[in-house]
Structure 1
Amino acid sequence: MTSTFPDISLSTERLVLRPYDEADIPELVEMMNDDLVTAWTGVPWPYTEAAARAFVSTAGPAERRSGRGLVLAVTEMLTQRLVGTVQLQNTDWRIRGTEIGYLTASWARGEGYAGESVLAVVRWLFASQGFERVELRTAADNTASQQVAQKIGCISEGVLRNAGVIRSRPDDDPHGRWAETRTDLLVWSLLPEDLDDADGTGEFAGRTGGDGYDPGYDSAYAAYRGHADYSAAAHRR
């Protein structure tokens, strides 16, 4: 039985999902220095070129080789511009289950890219990799990310109380120091039959276009924690 994901690329009508390479570093730095990404994820701040290079060359590929997950850059098919990231993490090969995370660059928000890319990965997992469960976790106050989960058909399973950490600036001061606070995490899931039912009824029709439900800081909560542990586990402390 395989215990690592293949080195793959996926495509949708508008997007190409592929491994990161060095040419992505400038756009990656720009994407990760957005305030909403800093607030909802565990990325280093400020996010430097050195951090991006370490992620692209070492931390990201190590996720796949170790069997823990898979990191894919999401790019526009026509322009090849980086629009976001989709990440698999905390993979359990015995039960064929994994956790998915996602975020979108600030300039690409509102185009439905998060839902489109996540559904592409989930369908690939179920159809080609024999997976039986995909889990997603969102911070309790991250309503925009919750809307993405709902829009793609995720089932709400419950709340992990006080299980995550988010960041904010006191009094919303744009120049203030980021401070960490604890938060509940909402748990969502998708099973193969969830997509089978939706595809059979046309429920997902139109969900990957400009539906207004792609806020760009969508995340299964905790990607990029210092590139040492690229997973939500880094926040469960």
Structure 2
Amino acid sequence: MSSIIANPILLTIPESFESKRLVIRAPLWEDGAMVNEAIKESIDELRPWMPWAGQIPTIEESEIISRQGRVHYLERSDLRLYLIDKTTGQFIGSSGLHRIDWQVRKFEIGYWVSTPFSGQGYITEAVERITYFAINELQANRIEIRCDSRNTRSARVAERLKFTMEGILRNDKCDVDGLLRETVVYSKVRGAEF
């Protein structure tokens, strides 16, 4: 792949790939109901960290978000990915490559897990596979994971996968309550970590 992208929409990017236990895929029409169910089951765990989790969305709102995710994937402006259990077909969580800079080939990995599947290594497995996908399919030069400094579970995913902690951005964002928070930045960069 050339380092200069005239228009990312011309890139041929697979819409799904697999890890040991997961199918990791772009959103599809009609995914809204399963995503909505997972949000309902997980709202108490999501609310402290995800600004969009202030209230439980309707099924229609979840379908709109999924369809927008599909469109953005096709446009190559944001690569949302759903995590589906290979054996049961259950929705495990959501991840993806966000805040994309195609010129630099920089991506930020975000993630959340449905509460019934928390603590079982699914997010670590998914992030490891998405990192591999970004390096090998998208020729990433930089991959970031950013999280609220108080979100130790999210930070542990980055640490387990040997992302380098680059620093803490003080008073970087407002948390869900509107208070200033610190953001921890982890990364992997071509030439150093891969």
Normalized against structure 2, the TM-score is what?
Answer: 0.87
Which of the two has greater strand per residue? 2
Percentage identity across aligned positions? 23
The amino acid across from 2:51 in the alignment is: G
Task: Tell me the distance in 2 between the aligned counterparts of 1:89 and 1:195.
Answer: 20
Q: Is contact 1:97–1:132 with CA below 8 Å preserved after alignment?
A: yes
Q: Over the residues paired in the alignment, what is the CA RMSD in angstroms?
A: 1.8
1:180 match: 178
Structure 2: segments with no counterpart, 5+ residues: none
Aligned partner of 2:34 in structure 1 is: 27
Contact 1:140 1:185 survives alignment (8 Å): yes
Counterparts in 2 of 1:193 and 1:79: CA distance versus 1, 3 Å: farther
- Cα displacement string for residues 95-140 of structure 1 (whole angstroms, at most 9, x for unaligned residues): 1111110110000011111111111111111112211110110101
Amino acid in structure 2 at the alignment position of 1:50? E
Aligned to 1:141: 150
Distance 1:50 1:83 in 2: 20
C-alpha distance in 1, partners of 2:50/2:155?
15
Matches within 5 A, 1:151-190: 151-167=160-176, 179-190=177-188
Deviation of residue 195 (structure 1)?
A: 5.2
Normalised TM-score (structure 1) = 0.72
For 1:53, the equivalent position in structure 2 comes to: 63
Q: Can you list the C-alpha shifts for 1:14-65, whole angstroms capped at 9, x where unaligned?
A: 10001223443222112223212122012151222121011112x2123224
| Displacement of 1:194 | 5.5
User: Hey, what's the Cα distance between the residues in 1 that align with 2:14 and 2:39?
Assistant: 24
Q: Partner amino acid for 1:37?
A: L
Structure 1 residues without counterparts, runs of 5 or longer: 168-178, 197-237
Amino acid of the structure 2 residue aligned with 1:29? N
Once the two structures are superposed, residues 175-218 of structure 1 have per-residue CA deviations (whole angstroms, 9 ceiling, x without a partner) of: xxxx332211010001245554xxxxxxxxxxxxxxxxxxxxxx
Q: Which residue of 1 aligns with 2:112?
A: 103
Which amino acid in the other structure matches residue 67 of structure 1? R
* 2:104 aligned counterpart, secondary structure: coil
Decide which of 18, 37, 46 is 1:11's aligned counterpart.
18
Q: Distance in 1 between matches of 2:73 and 2:182?
A: 28
Does the aligned pair in 1 maintain the 2:69–2:78 contact within 8 Å? no
RCO comparison, higher one (Cα < 8 Å, 6+): 1
> Residue 209 of structure 1 corresponds to which residue in structure 2?
none
| Residue in structure 2 matched with residue 43 of structure 1 by the alignment | 52
CA distance in 2, matches of 1:9, 1:191: 24
- Counterpart residue number, 1:216: none
Distance 2:38 2:154 in 1: 17
Q: Counterpart in 2 of 1:123?
A: 132
